[in-house]
Amino acid sequence: MVNENLESKRWALAAAGVVIMLILGTVYAWSVFVKPIAALHGWEVKVVSRVFMLIIGVIGISAAFGGMLVDKKGPKFVATLGACFYGVGVLLGGVALYIGNFWFLLIGYGVIAGIGNGLTYVVPIATLIRWFPDKRGLITGLAVMGFGFGAFFIGMIIPGLIVKVGVANAFLILGVVYLVLCILAALTLRNPPAGWLPKGFKPSATTVSAADSFGWAEAKKTRQWYMLWCMLFLNVTAGMGLLSKLSPMAQEVIKFAQGVDDPAKLAVLGGGVLATASIFNGLGRLFWAAVSDKLGRKGTYMVMFLTQAILYILLPQITSVLIFTIIACYLLSCLGGGFAVMPSFAADSFGPTNIGKVYGFLLTAWGAAGVVGGFVFAEFNKQQSLYTAAGCLILGFIIALMFSRPKHVSEYR
CA dist 131 and 273 (Å) reads 37
Name which of 27-31, 86-90, 109-113, 286-290 the model is least confident about: 27-31
> What pLDDT does residue 4 have?
59
Instruction: Judge whether 182 and 121 are in contact, CB under 8 Å.
Output: no
Mean pLDDT of 100-120: 94
Instruction: Look at 158-167, 197-206, 314-323 and tell me which has the smallest mean pLDDT.
Output: 197-206
Domain end position, chosen among 164, 186, 208: 186
- Which of 186, 202, 236 marks a domain boundary? 186
Q: How many CB atoms lie within 10 A of CB 39?
A: 12
Q: Is the pLDDT of residue 411 over 60?
A: no
Residue 199 lies in a domain: no
C-alpha 337/C-alpha 393 separation (Å) is: 14
In a domain, 191, yes or no: no
CA dist., res. 369 & res. 233, Å (int) = 5
Please tell me the distance from the alpha carbon of residue 318 to that of residue 327, in angstroms, as a whole number.
10
Distance CA 38, CA 169 (A): 15
> For position 338, which CATH number holds?
1.20.1250.20
Same structural domain for residues 182 and 220?
Answer: no
Write the DSSP string, 289-343.
HHHHHHH-HHHHHHHHHHHHHHHHHHGGG---HHHHHHHHHHHHHHHHHHHHHHH
Do 354 and 273 belong to one domain? yes
pLDDT tens figures, 375-403: 787 678 888 989 999 999 999 999 999 99
Residues 163 and 55 in one domain: yes
Is residue 282 domain-shared with residue 159, that is, in the same domain?
no
- Same domain, yes or no: 379 and 289: yes
Sign of torsion, CA 107 109 113 117?
negative
* Same domain for 350 and 240: yes
In-domain check, residue 202: no
Q: Do 41 and 100 touch, CB atoms closer than 8 A?
A: yes
Report which DSSP code applies to 244.
H
**Average pLDDT rounded to a whole number, residues 80-107:** 95
Structure confidence at residue 159 (pLDDT): 76
CA dist 305 → 133, 310, 335, 337, 389 (Å): 26, 9, 10, 11, 11
Residue 180 and residue 223 share a domain: no
Is 318's pLDDT higher than 50? yes
For the chain, how many helices (H) and strands (E)?
A: 16, 0
> What average pLDDT is seen over the chain?
87
Q: Do 261 and 319 belong to one domain?
A: yes
Q: For residue range 248-268, what is the model confidence (pLDDT) as tens digits?
A: 788 888 888 888 787 767 767
Where among 148, 165, 186 does a domain terminate?
186
Residues 111-147 pLDDT 10s? 999 999 999 998 998 898 888 888 878 888 888 888 8
322 in a structural domain? yes
Q: Which residue has the higher pLDDT, 207 or 233?
A: 233
pLDDT beyond 90 at 374: no
Q: Is 200 helix (H, G, I), strand (E, B) or coil?
A: coil
Q: Angle at CA 204, nearest 5°, toward 198 and 209?
A: 75
Domain that holds residue 111: 2-186
Residues 246 and 120 reside in one and the same domain: no
74 with 123, same domain: the answer is yes
> How many residues comprise the chain?
413
pTM of the model: 0.78
Instruction: State how many domains the chain has.
Output: 2
Give domain status of residue 411, yes or no.
no
Given a cut of 70, whether residue 412 has pLDDT beyond it is no
Q: Helices (DSSP H) in 1-113: which residue ranges?
A: 2-24, 30-41, 45-73, 75-99, 102-105
Phi–psi pair at 287, nearest 5 degrees? -60, -55
Say what the pLDDT of residue 413 is: 45
Query: Same structural domain for residues 233 and 379?
Result: yes
Residue 248 is assigned to a structural domain of this protein: yes
pLDDT at 1: 46
Answer whether residue 205 is part of any domain.
no
Regarding whether 181 and 265 lie in a shared domain, the answer is no
In a domain, 192, yes or no: no
Tell me if 109 sits within 8 A of 93, measured CB to CB.
yes
